[in-house]
Structure 1
Amino acid sequence: MRIRAFCKNIEVNELEVCNLKNCTVVIDGQNYFYRLYQDSKLPYQFGCESNKYADYLRDHFSMFKKANVKCYILFKFGNTDREKKAKFKETETYITGLTYEVNGPPPNDITPVFMKCIYREVLDEMGIDYVICEFESKKQCIALAQKLKCPIISFDIEFAFSGRPYIPYAPPLHYNDTTGSIECGIFILDHFMRKNGLTREILSIFVVLTDELIFTDLPFQSFFEEVRLPLGFFKRNAALLRWLSRNTVENIKSRIIRNLTPEDQNMFSEEQVKIFDLIGRIETPGEPVNYLLNGKSTLIENNDPQWFEKGVITKKIALVYVNMYHSNSFYGSWCIEDPNADDALFLSIDIIKYAYNLLTNYQRNNLQFKNNKNEVQNINNVSLTMTSTSSVQKPPCCEENNILFGNGWDGIKDFKLFDFFLKESLPGINLDYIKTLPEDARLVVLSLIYFCCRKKENTMTHEAYSILLSYVMLGVVLPKIDTNNNNNINGKPNIVKIDKDLVTLNDCDTASTILAPFFELTYSELENIFDKKLIHPFVEFQHCLEQMNNLNRLCDQGDYQPTIYHKTYNGTFVYKFFYSIKNESRDGALHAIKKILTSAPTVLNFYMSLVKVCEQTMTNL
């Protein structure tokens, strides 16, 4: 639903004062979170400032904890056909003429790679309940709010017509320390209709006349002129509501229809019935609602026809796999990157293809990759594997005419499907060596190795050095300072095993002070160092890391802890540090890092141990 300026009409004229405290709310996560990175005003050009964004989200959601407001958050995953077309159009716009200010806020269709992952990480950390729907989440939001008899918080104006109290996120919610409550405005449909003298039928006519997603060619202009509605959407909406309230349904319809073609007349009548049924509708709770209300558990039966939906709900199946599975298509990168290079997601094509083959049990061969230039490729005819085959071979457990995940994920880990992929795509890899790493470092290092090999380097690159240092800072140094956890290890120990506990608090303080400037970015500095060609490989790595995590979650192997992105990757830090060493030779870059961290020896030793694993692993490939 897209009614221009109606959200402003509601904000100015229809919101009632509301104070949330000791209550429950349902939050439409798709719309609520989408603009939060922009609201945070964090840089986005070099990738997500993940740790700072996580801090921003914690602070934002702390108001719900303080006010004792129980939140249930629902996200949507796949797109409808209409949304697929919109996404395609956005991609086309990005390539053919999207402009953005280097120092400006991120455009709506440019979001950091890890943005969505991070807000789910923070929700998990804070114990806030959420669920992911296979497709659209609106019906389940309404069903849950009806069941709990609570309001819905969203940016989406369609919820205003649901019959449940609607709290728009504009103006922003505000926590009042004095009252211990969240101050907001609330829209109540019954109050709105009584105040404006509207019936359900007349309100449905208003929606059909103004919703640009129903009549995209706007055939009502003659009618608007005939009843002398003012120009400007805000004033037009208010005047139209007044005019409708003063006329009978019969008069309204006759005035509208006489200005329409026979085809549009039929469409008007059909759409008005649909909207009439939509207003105040009762929705049936589905699997997502049951998951939230049943202690976040979902039973997958043997040969369960809902195995895919339940896999999405239980977070085994990643966001990008939904459209891939249902429409046999995979969209390319949406980030700022080098337009003259391959789509940044293309480097991860074999990871994506393997996941597709597992989900379809190798029974389809028509997966298409739609890159950021709107070019379409059949993925099964393309491969970046280091083997001579066109794809990762079919694992023995994938028997013909059998749905691998049809009985759920119990026992899937025994197949070692993730290890199978690594051994096929990186022949000669020593996974026992990888498993000597700290658990939260394994997927980062594996992704770096995969990234370097796909770049035909087979050795550590300047980009890899910078990325690995970001993990050390966010995953080891800063957490140790935050918890003030001093392990009382002094001197320069010779690290035999790769153990975070051997890194001392004093050295963390030193490293944090030395490297702090790389986390900050001025406007003039941004303009001076911004280079899409240099940014491109970092976008490739971010996609690679995310796709590795998606595959690992699908394979449910248990040997590799999912990456916590806000403890791994800060885009500004990574790019700025890389920029400072980019003109050095490979050995010179490593020497520069050693020199920088020489006064923090345990941090340096830990970092060099990670580098050693990467280098020795790639030497054998």
Structure 2
Amino acid sequence: MKFTSLRRCIKNRNLGSPYILSDCDVVVDGDSFFKDTYSNSNSQYILGPDCDRYADFLINKLSIFLDSHVKCHFIFKGATKLNMDERQKFHESIIHDRIVTKIKTAPYFQPLFAQDIQKQVLEEMDIKYFVCEYDSIEAIIGVARKLKCPVLTNKLEYSLFGVSCIPPNFVLYIKGCNKLICQIYENEKVKNVFGVYNKTPMLLALLNENGIYFEQAKEIIDDMEGDATWPVVKWVKRQRQATIASTVLKGIHDNEHRDAFNKVHERIQTLYLYPFCNLAVKYFQKNKVHSLFRDDKKWFAKGISNGRIAPAFIDLKKKGLVFGSMLMNDMKRPDAMLAAVEIVSYSHCLLTNSQSSTITFIGRQNDRTCIQEISNHWDRKIPQRGIFTKHRDGKKIKMNDCDVFKEFLEVVLPGSNFRYHFLFVPQDCWLLIITLVYYIFKKNEDFLNAAYCVLLSYIVLGPVSKQVDELKKVESILNSSKDCVSFYNNFKRMFDKVDLSQKYNSSVVHSFSEFQHCLQNMNYLNKLCGEKIPCTVYHDTYNASFIYNAFMFFKDKNDLMEYLENKCAGSIYLEMFKKVVDGFEKCLSAVEVFAKNNVLEASVISNEIKT
């Protein structure tokens, strides 16, 4: 549903009143709250996400609520309901916007990982969030009315559904007072201004701009030139409640449009009178996430709700749809998302309990949208039970100890034996290394030098930066702590903004985009499988400016290691980096040797058959 005209009308009537938030609950429309936050963080986006900088911006934005003792309940929407034609047109419009002759004229777009970072920051700050399968309006209104608290959202029309709304951009923090000053659009005040009361659901149904019946419904109303809101309000006021529905339906001649109107009207009536969203309400009332049981009809919705199942998997499971990359750096090369299709295919099999996957891929071929079917069959048994938290054995409930992700790696990277090679590697970068090995071995062997820059980004953003941040909290720097400061300072300039007019290489950036898609989908699969390996924390791992600058500055691994030995000799972080690199190289070498031996073995068998 879409109420742009109504929202503008409420805003222009100056119905907001001063309000103080402190020691209270608030439901937060996550999509509204985080909208434009990446661009507002002044982080570059062409090269990929500067995850740490964006996360710092979000932490500062969220901290004012914690300091004011405001308990936030974040709710996000899931997938958008569009048919195939609408999705194709949407993708075509993106391609059209991204085709530029000069990099300086590239329009803004939200880079990969941004939405994942939002949720990771919330988890880090111990703020609960809930993700809906589709639209979030039921969950937002249901939880707000249950908790009897306002909603932080730009969608001021929610104030006609029985909740009070606070625009996120009008929230100011008073230092020292632990209070937030804001503007609130109170439900009763807004409702009284419109004055249609019990006929409000009909008013909202008529003002829904997404309804296919909208143009026909406008013909019923007099004086509909310009803003539609007030003519509709006046018309609804004049009608009798008992006959208004039949009057509207008589004016909508098309049967399909009439059915669509009835469905929207019924949905709005339910929202207005009985806004139940039990799954969301129970989620915020519990102190733990929903467990997943195979025999639970709501297992998929529950998995989506707590982030166990990525929103990208909604259309994948229900319609077999995968959407191409929004990152279009080199039009001559294939769609960047194709690099991760094998990982997505395995996820599809897990979600549908099948050995085969056929997905419809809506992506890019050169400068055009293309739709293609991609099929994969896995010979090795894929145990769907591995994605469930627990399983029932008679009357007993047992924890699931199946490691599905490990089985996936044994199929796609046979011989990797990563746990053996990662004995001296921190667990929080295992998935990063696994993805680097996967991308280099399966997709792009020329990415090797870039891999060392990605691993260096992990060291500088993770172990080093965490220690530097701790030091900023104390007045003096101990001798034992100077190591991390010195190491950080030697790479500080790598965070500088890249002059893209001088240093932009579209093919290199495209390779990084492919790797980002692999890393994201490897994390999605790992989380779906129960996260036996810690997922990648993007803001402790990936800064695209740092990685690109390092890649352009160092010729190869030898050049990088020589620089490190000269500048950071004796540093514990240099030794840590060497161990991470060693684990990466041994894992990659093991996969390559295994593949080579298999080729030789197959060749010997072939020769024996011939003789």
TM over 0.5: yes
Matched, 1:510 2:486: yes
- The aligned counterpart of 2:371 is 376
TM-score by length of 1: 0.83
Aligned-residue CA RMSD in angstroms? 3.5
Q: For structure 1, which segment, 140-149 or 159-168, has the greater mean C-alpha deviation from structure 2 after superposition?
A: 159-168
Amino acid at match of 2:582: K
Q: CA deviation at 1:261?
A: 5.0
What CA distance in whole angstroms lies between the structure 2 residues aligned with 1:184 and 1:489? Answer: 43
Specify whether residues 437 and 175 from structure 1 end up closer, same or farther in structure 2 by C-alpha distance, changes over 3 A only: same
What CA distance in whole angstroms lies between the structure 2 residues aligned with 1:228 and 1:308? Answer: 44
Specify whether residues 216 and 246 from structure 1 end up closer, same or farther in structure 2 by C-alpha distance, changes over 3 A only: closer
Tell me if structure 2 keeps the 8 A contact 1:45–1:336.
no
Q: Which of 174, 177, 188 is residue 176 of structure 1 equivalent to?
A: 174
Q: Which of 281, 284, 290 is residue 289 of structure 1 equivalent to?
A: 281
Q: CA deviation at 1:295?
A: 1.0
Matched, 1:338 2:330: yes
- The aligned counterpart of 1:92 is 92
SS in 1 for 2:273: coil
What CA distance in whole angstroms lies between the structure 2 residues aligned with 1:422 and 1:269? Answer: 49
- The aligned counterpart of 1:455 is 443
Q: Give per-residue Cα distances to partners, 1:376-407, cap 9 Å, x unaligned.
A: 333325xxxxxxxx546224x56xxx897495
Q: CA deviation at 1:210?
A: 3.7
Q: CA deviation at 1:90?
A: 2.4
Q: For structure 1, which segment, 146-155 or 125-134, has the greater mean C-alpha deviation from structure 2 after superposition?
A: 125-134
Q: CA deviation at 1:539?
A: 1.1
- The aligned counterpart of 1:497 is none
- Structure 1 gaps of 5+ residues are 382-389, 491-503
Tell me if structure 2 keeps the 8 A contact 1:26–1:153.
yes
Matched, 1:536 2:507: no
What CA distance in whole angstroms lies between the structure 1 residues aligned with 2:236 and 2:319? Answer: 44
SS in 1 for 2:181: strand
Matched, 1:613 2:601: no
Matched, 1:556 2:541: no
SS in 2 for 1:298: coil
Q: CA deviation at 1:198?
A: 3.0
Tell me if structure 1 keeps the 8 A contact 2:523–2:535.
yes
TM-score by length of 2: 0.84
What CA distance in whole angstroms lies between the structure 1 residues aligned with 2:170 and 2:36? Answer: 12
Matched, 1:227 2:223: yes
Tell me if structure 1 keeps the 8 A contact 2:16–2:184.
yes
- The aligned counterpart of 2:301 is 309
- The aligned counterpart of 2:519 is 545
Q: CA deviation at 1:439?
A: 0.9
Amino acid at match of 2:463: V
Tell me if structure 2 keeps the 8 A contact 1:519–1:572.
yes
Aligned ranges 1:514-525 → 2 under 5 Å: 514-521=490-497, 525=499
What CA distance in whole angstroms lies between the structure 2 residues aligned with 1:172 and 1:461? Answer: 47
Matched, 1:569 2:545: no
Tell me if structure 2 keeps the 8 A contact 1:334–1:372.
no
Q: Give per-residue Cα distances to partners, 1:453-510, cap 9 Å, x unaligned.
A: 12342x8622112111110110111111112399x999xxxxxxxxxxxxx6323212
Amino acid at match of 1:227: D
What CA distance in whole angstroms lies between the structure 2 residues aligned with 1:596 and 1:217? Answer: 69
- The aligned counterpart of 1:9 is 9
Matched, 1:416 2:396: no
SS in 2 for 1:380: strand
SS in 2 for 1:367: strand
What CA distance in whole angstroms lies between the structure 1 residues aligned with 2:260 and 2:580? Answer: 64
Q: CA deviation at 1:214?
A: 1.0
What CA distance in whole angstroms lies between the structure 1 residues aligned with 2:246 and 2:409? Answer: 67
Matched, 1:44 2:18: no
Q: Which of 191, 207, 211 is residue 208 of structure 2 equivalent to?
A: 211
What CA distance in whole angstroms lies between the structure 2 residues aligned with 1:549 and 1:265? Answer: 42
Amino acid at match of 2:210: L
SS in 1 for 2:20: strand
What CA distance in whole angstroms lies between the structure 2 residues aligned with 1:489 and 1:618? Answer: 39
Q: What is the aligned residue count? A: 577
What CA distance in whole angstroms lies between the structure 2 residues aligned with 1:265 and 1:291? Answer: 36
Q: Which of 169, 188, 192 is residue 186 of structure 2 equivalent to?
A: 188
SS in 2 for 1:26: strand
What CA distance in whole angstroms lies between the structure 1 residues aligned with 2:167 and 2:325? Answer: 31
Specify whether residues 73 and 182 from structure 1 end up closer, same or farther in structure 2 by C-alpha distance, changes over 3 A only: same
Amino acid at match of 2:196: L
Amino acid at match of 2:16: L
Amino acid at match of 1:27: V
Q: Give per-residue Cα distances to partners, 1:22-52, cap 9 Å, x unaligned.
A: 1111112133223321232321111111111
Q: Which of 335, 340, 346 is residue 354 of structure 1 equivalent to?
A: 346
Q: Give per-residue Cα distances to partners, 1:253-288, cap 9 Å, x unaligned.
A: 999899865669946973784376156232223223
Runs of 4+ in 1 over 6 A off after TM superposition: 220-224, 250-260, 409-412
Specify whether residues 242 and 353 from structure 1 end up closer, same or farther in structure 2 by C-alpha distance, changes over 3 A only: closer
Specify whether residues 223 and 60 from structure 1 end up closer, same or farther in structure 2 by C-alpha distance, changes over 3 A only: same
Q: For structure 1, which segment, 459-468 or 595-604, has the greater mean C-alpha deviation from structure 2 after superposition?
A: 595-604
- The aligned counterpart of 1:27 is 28
Matched, 1:443 2:431: yes
- The aligned counterpart of 1:602 is 572
Tell me if structure 2 keeps the 8 A contact 1:307–1:408.
no
SS in 2 for 1:375: strand
Specify whether residues 154 and 103 from structure 1 end up closer, same or farther in structure 2 by C-alpha distance, changes over 3 A only: farther
Q: Give per-residue Cα distances to partners, 1:124-177, cap 9 Å, x unaligned.
A: 1111121223333321221111111111112334523321112233x4322123
Tell me if structure 2 keeps the 8 A contact 1:307–1:406.
no
Tell me if structure 1 keeps the 8 A contact 2:213–2:261.
no
What CA distance in whole angstroms lies between the structure 1 residues aligned with 2:292 and 2:429? Answer: 31
Specify whether residues 268 and 113 from structure 1 end up closer, same or farther in structure 2 by C-alpha distance, changes over 3 A only: closer
SS in 1 for 2:489: helix
Q: Give per-residue Cα distances to partners, 1:77-105, cap 9 Å, x unaligned.
A: 333346x7655432121123446795689
